[in-house]
Structure 1
Amino acid sequence: MGCFSIKCGLLAGSVFGAVIAILGGILIPVGDMIIERTVKKEAVIEPGTTAYDNWAASEIAIYRQFWFFDVKNPQQVVQEGAFPEVQEKGPYTYKTRYLPKANVTFNPNNTASFVLPLGAIFEPSMSVGPEEDTVTSLNLAVAGAYSLLPPASHILLDMVINSTNSSLFQHRTVKELLWGYHDPILKDTIGLFSPYNGTTDGPYNVFTGKDDISKVSVIDRWRGETKLSFWNDTYCDMINGTDGSSFAPFVDKDVPLYFFSSDICRSVSASYEATMNLKGIEVYRYTLLPSTLASPVDNPDNKCFCRNYETTKNCTLAGALDISSCSDGRPIFISLPHFLQGSEYLREVVLGLHPDEEHHKTFLDVEPITGFTLNFAKRIQVNMMYGPAKDITVLNKVKDHTLLPLAWMNETATLDDKTADMFKRELLSRIDMLEIVQQVLLIAGVIIFCVCLIAFFCVRRKSKANLG
């Protein structure tokens, strides 16, 4: 009778272990379903969700750091046709995007509309000097007028340049170059980012993800249109992806991420580079591929971004994007800092440039479960084109079209320690706990099942031996 009771107990233990193991196994898909359902619910852009709180007014500080290219030999360029030699000066840092989204409206088609108020506050503690520091830079009015006016008007332009004591280069403060100054030629206020303070970007219409979470934050319209009007081409005028601040949850690192940037007037894609650890949180780092700014020779898709065959050497130059069509005709070209990933020619005709992948590339660090961008660095260089003109005194010694860097910007933000701790506590710790429970139940159940089953057969064998 005793052996029978022991065998029953061991059988019951085996069954109990099997049940626990099965429960642990069941919890794996069930737990994944719970996690997926919770994340998708919190990723929808609507009041009360985690995504909405971050989307409406992010507490992460965004900064713009500016480095200027100080021209060291302006007289030699004008009088002798020498290559310009530049020296980087910076950073000069501003806090930007500190204002919440404005005019937020939820629409019946599961989209939300808003505008982004723009502003910049100088941060002396994060800068190498005051805004009053001076820089020798290209004269924006002279270069702009040269590009906009036909050669027949160059004699008149030369008279205006001489009468205002202007030249190809000028000395301006950091504040003037960025946010504007009164120009004697144009009789107006001009600057690299003028006007900025008090203006807005948008309006934007983005999908909330309520009916389809894969579309959350994807831009439906910008300035009321579903496509751009800068490039006169269906492909180049597409508005693809989000604004880069977040993406759909459960990111697949084998699939590129698409985002639109109004700063460069186009959409781009970023590809997975590596898995990083950001304050204890696993993130996927995405970077722009060299093909993004490649010449049409190497990337035929970029042919519609080539606007001027003469200044781009028949569209063979890589690394610079002509955005004159979305900057009021000004000869503005956008590139990565120091012409990173650009043609060697661009660095041969401007001396003093030293591209560095680590310091000059653009990247996004995306948390793969939620799709939130937790750290990023958007690095953009602003350049202007000038070239030879026999009827303009300050340009008649210039030998070829030159793309001169004026400044480069690093717009960056990363989550602070408080936000990182909250993120880990509210989301990741719960996911980790559920996975631990699943594994403990599964492992414990298997062990109990195996031990009890083995003991049962041992007892059974001993029982038979005694009976024999």
Structure 2
Amino acid sequence: MNLIVFSVKKYAAKAKTTYKMQPQKSLAIFLCVSGICFFFILAGILAICLSTNIYEAILSNQMVLKPNSNAYNMWVKNPVPISLTLYMFNWTNPEEVYNKTSKPRFEQLGPYVYRETKEKTDVVWNNDNDTVTFKNIKTWWFDPESSKGNLYDPVTSINPVALSAAHAVRNWHMIIKRGFSVSLRAIADTIYSTHSVGELLFDGYEDPLLTMAAKMSFLPKGAAMDKFGWFYGRNGSSEFDGIFNIDTGARGNLGVLERWKFSEHTGFYPDKCGNVQNASAGDFFPRKLTHDSVIKMFTSDLCRYMELEFEEEVLVNNIVGYKYVAGQKFLDNGTKIPENKCFCDGDCMPSGALNVSNCRHGSPAFVSLPHFYKADPYYLDGVDGLSPEENMHSFYMIFEPNTGIPLSVAARLQLNLRLAPVQGISIFEDVPTVFMPVLYFEQKVDIPEHMTFMIKLLINFNVICLSVGIICITLSSIVFLIVFYKMWSKKIFRKQRHVQIPRHPNREEVPLNH
């Protein structure tokens, strides 16, 4: 017996240390959790480091116009409800037009509100140069509940047909003008006329001068009409605005106008003033705007582009926006901005009223801001009844600067006709030179709440990525440490020893029984 005890102690000192294998299930769980944690830690690091690249990739993908894309669905049919609000100017003392001591006096009527839909038609994709060609269809419905007055309200105004006819023949030979004057006097013995709001806007009215003008050579081709109305023939028409060709954004110039009516030049203004390129077509605008940026936008109503200048930073639904307004770059006729002189077409007036006569079939038409806001005092001094106010009569667009998405728009322009003496035309010989306001329109649109939420996500994308990255790294690290601690506490990783007594190769076992 003593011999056996001695043998055990002796060979126990030479025992080999071994490690007990732990259950495979616990180790598998630990490895799985560790893999998931390290994956989320890596994802968090990438989200923080590559947030800017991800942001640009998302915008680059979304800000490309292609069939069935999000940008296309919002572009082909306007998703935001639009209204066209019109105000008419009623001439209250037309019989005093030849009185040198009296000014034309006006009262504003309205608003007359029309609901508007706008959609694209005849869309053609030009894959060879990454452009798309299309036409606009605008449709209007009168909204009596939102209007003040009705379409039967009478409005007295300068007779636009007689004025245009006199303006068209102003440079003819005196003998011919005298003959025309007799015919004009027989048809229209006054320079003013009274018609309903509906007739002056969309319905139109017949005028014997139109019939006569259609048979004479002084009207440009295509200018003849069976009726006259400022928007006559435009409701539901796909031809009125012309054919547009814009960049799809595949080259990074989304919405930039390439051609209008198949040309890079309008033909209505000389030199660079007739260019259409590098201007927005009005649906998409540049990204990464700064205080020095100028918004260049083409409008077919003026047959030219207009430029908006930065004014201030404002908040729209808690989003910081850059406000761009119609200022001197748009309103000046070369006095303060020499390069604008080509817009005058040789007939430069004081700043504030833009000559659009060529765009309006030769009629002496001029566009300004409502009530001659921001215009030279010359215009207001010639009339009574107008009172310009910034909050009512300014033209502005507010953009989210990083994405170029419009947050709020107030588009306002006024149509004026220049009344001036025409020698040889009796009813116009003794009239004063004055700019007669006819009407002004307003389109005010604010971005819907659901779109505001998406914009907030976009502009806070880097912050969101940083937050998500920190959360992923922090939570994954905590989970890993907790699992590691629990595994450690269960002695998953600890070394455990047990004794294994080796058998002596040259020794025989001694039986226990003696």
Calculate the TM-score normalised by the size of structure 1. 0.81
User: Is 1:74 aligned to 2:94, yes or no?
Assistant: yes
Q: Match of 2:410, SS?
A: strand
Q: Residues 86 and 110 of structure 2 are in contact (CA less than 8 Å); yes or no, is this contact kept in structure 1?
A: yes
2:330: which partner in 1? 292
**Structure 1 counterpart of 2:389, which letter?**
D
* Whole-angstrom CA distance in 1 between matches of 2:57 and 2:298: 28
Mapping of residues 31-180 of structure 1, within 5 Å: 31-78=51-98, 82-96=102-116, 98-108=117-127, 109-150=129-170, 152=174, 153-179=176-202, 180=204
**Structure 2 counterpart of 1:191, which letter?**
G
Match of 2:205 among 177, 181, 184: 181
**Structure 2 counterpart of 1:204, which letter?**
F
**Structure 2 counterpart of 1:183, which letter?**
D
**Percent of aligned positions with the same letter in both sequences?**
28
Match of 2:374 among 336, 341, 356: 341
Q: Residues 159 and 192 of structure 2 are in contact (CA less than 8 Å); yes or no, is this contact kept in structure 1?
A: yes
Superposition RMSD on alpha carbons, in Å? 2.8
Q: Match of 2:60, SS?
A: helix
Mapping of residues 447-462 of structure 1, within 5 Å: none
Pairwise CA distance, 1:253: 4.2
Pairwise CA distance, 1:205: 0.9
* Whole-angstrom CA distance in 2 between matches of 1:170 and 1:340: 27
Pairwise CA distance, 1:208: 0.8
* Whole-angstrom CA distance in 2 between matches of 1:57 and 1:239: 24
Q: In the superposition, relative to structure 1, how do residues 444 and 276 fare at CA in structure 2: closer, same or farther (>3 Å)? A: farther
User: Is 1:218 aligned to 2:264, yes or no?
Assistant: no
Mapping of residues 56-455 of structure 1, within 5 Å: 56-78=76-98, 82-96=102-116, 98-108=117-127, 109-150=129-170, 152=174, 153-179=176-202, 180-187=204-211, 188-200=226-238, 201-210=241-250, 212-213=251-252, 215-309=253-347, 315-399=348-432, 401-421=433-453, 423-424=455-456, 427=458, 432-438=463-469
**Structure 2 counterpart of 1:101, which letter?**
K
Pairwise CA distance, 1:184: 2.3
* Whole-angstrom CA distance in 2 between matches of 1:21 and 1:351: 72
Q: In the superposition, relative to structure 1, how do residues 355 and 21 fare at CA in structure 2: closer, same or farther (>3 Å)? A: farther
* Whole-angstrom CA distance in 2 between matches of 1:289 and 1:318: 10
Pairwise CA distance, 1:226: 1.4
* Whole-angstrom CA distance in 2 between matches of 1:162 and 1:337: 33
Pairwise CA distance, 1:319: 0.9
Q: Residues 46 and 208 of structure 1 are in contact (CA less than 8 Å); yes or no, is this contact kept in structure 2?
A: yes
Q: In the superposition, relative to structure 1, how do residues 390 and 428 fare at CA in structure 2: closer, same or farther (>3 Å)? A: closer
Q: Match of 1:118, SS?
A: strand
Pairwise CA distance, 1:45: 0.6
| Structure 1 spans left out of the alignment, 5+ residues | 1-19, 310-314, 446-468
Bigger radius of gyration: 2
What per-residue deviation string (whole Å, max 9, x for no partner) do you get for residues 387-420 of structure 1? Answer: 1235434323323x22111011112322233443
Q: Match of 1:175, SS?
A: helix
What per-residue deviation string (whole Å, max 9, x for no partner) do you get for residues 45-78 of structure 1? Answer: 1134322221111211222111111111101114
Pairwise CA distance, 1:165: 4.6
Q: Match of 2:265, SS?
A: coil
**Structure 2 counterpart of 1:132, which letter?**
Y
Q: Match of 1:100, SS?
A: strand
Q: In the superposition, relative to structure 1, how do residues 421 and 297 fare at CA in structure 2: closer, same or farther (>3 Å)? A: closer
Q: Residues 256 and 280 of structure 2 are in contact (CA less than 8 Å); yes or no, is this contact kept in structure 1?
A: yes
* Whole-angstrom CA distance in 1 between matches of 2:69 and 2:402: 15
* Whole-angstrom CA distance in 2 between matches of 1:100 and 1:132: 29
Most deviating of 262-271 and 31-40: 262-271
| Structure 2 spans left out of the alignment, 5+ residues | 1-39, 212-225, 477-514
**Structure 1 counterpart of 2:417, which letter?**
M
Q: In the superposition, relative to structure 1, how do residues 328 and 259 fare at CA in structure 2: closer, same or farther (>3 Å)? A: same
Pairwise CA distance, 1:229: 0.6
Pairwise CA distance, 1:99: 3.8
* Whole-angstrom CA distance in 1 between matches of 2:461 and 2:50: 14
Calculate the TM-score normalised by the size of structure 2. 0.75
Q: How many residues align?
A: 417
* Whole-angstrom CA distance in 2 between matches of 1:176 and 1:227: 34
